[in-house]
Amino acid sequence: MKSRFVSNLLLTFVWVALTGNFTFANYFFGFVLSFFILWVITRGDSDAKYFTIIPKLIALFFFFLWELFKANLQVAYEVVTPNLKMTPGIVKVPLTIQSDLGITMLGNMISLTPGTLSLDVSNDKKVLYVHAMYITDKEEFIDGIKNGFEKRILDILK
């Protein structure tokens, strides 16, 4: 997988050097073009994990942006309106992810989203403690994390 990524980067730099246009848009276009070329060349290869991870990373990025947007709107509405509608609490989220990288990614994404903060991970890595400003239904909150961030991170780390 690393060699395909390096090949993708090298082809991107070749594209930029050949075009002579050193803008971000040209780098991005060169990366996408070289990704497509490498995908076509290695289409029958069973060891083509690189070509499934990149779209999943992009999907995770846009999912995170959407969750970030929703949380910002919710917190901004709370700040602007006179009545507080917060129902804060701490929730134990059971973890399916067992790797340190996966738990770190999940904890950081939760903490970067306004209104939530990952507090601690149990010693056996089975529970993540999360503080949230808006908990109306604990099971729904847990399900949102499990089927949102955790599911997408697990798909990437497989």
**If pLDDT is split at 50, 70 and 90, which confidence band does 73 have?**
very high
Query: For the segment 105-151, what is each residue's pLDDT rounded down to a tens digit?
Result: 999 999 999 999 999 999 999 999 999 998 989 999 999 999 999 99
Please tell me the predicted confidence (pLDDT) of residue 47: 66
Domain ranges of the chain: 2-41, 50-157
- CA distance linking residue 41 with residue 25, whole number of Å: 24
Determine the average pLDDT of the residues in 100-108: 94
Residue 43 predicted with pLDDT over 60:
yes
Please tell me the predicted confidence (pLDDT) of residue 54: 82
Neighbours of 124 (CB within 10 A): 8
**What's the token pair of residue 12?**
């991107």
Please tell me the predicted confidence (pLDDT) of residue 69: 96
**What's the token pair of residue 24?**
């971000």
Q: Is the pTM of this model over 0.85?
A: no
Distance of CA 9 to the CA centre of its chain: 22
Average pLDDT, the chain: 90
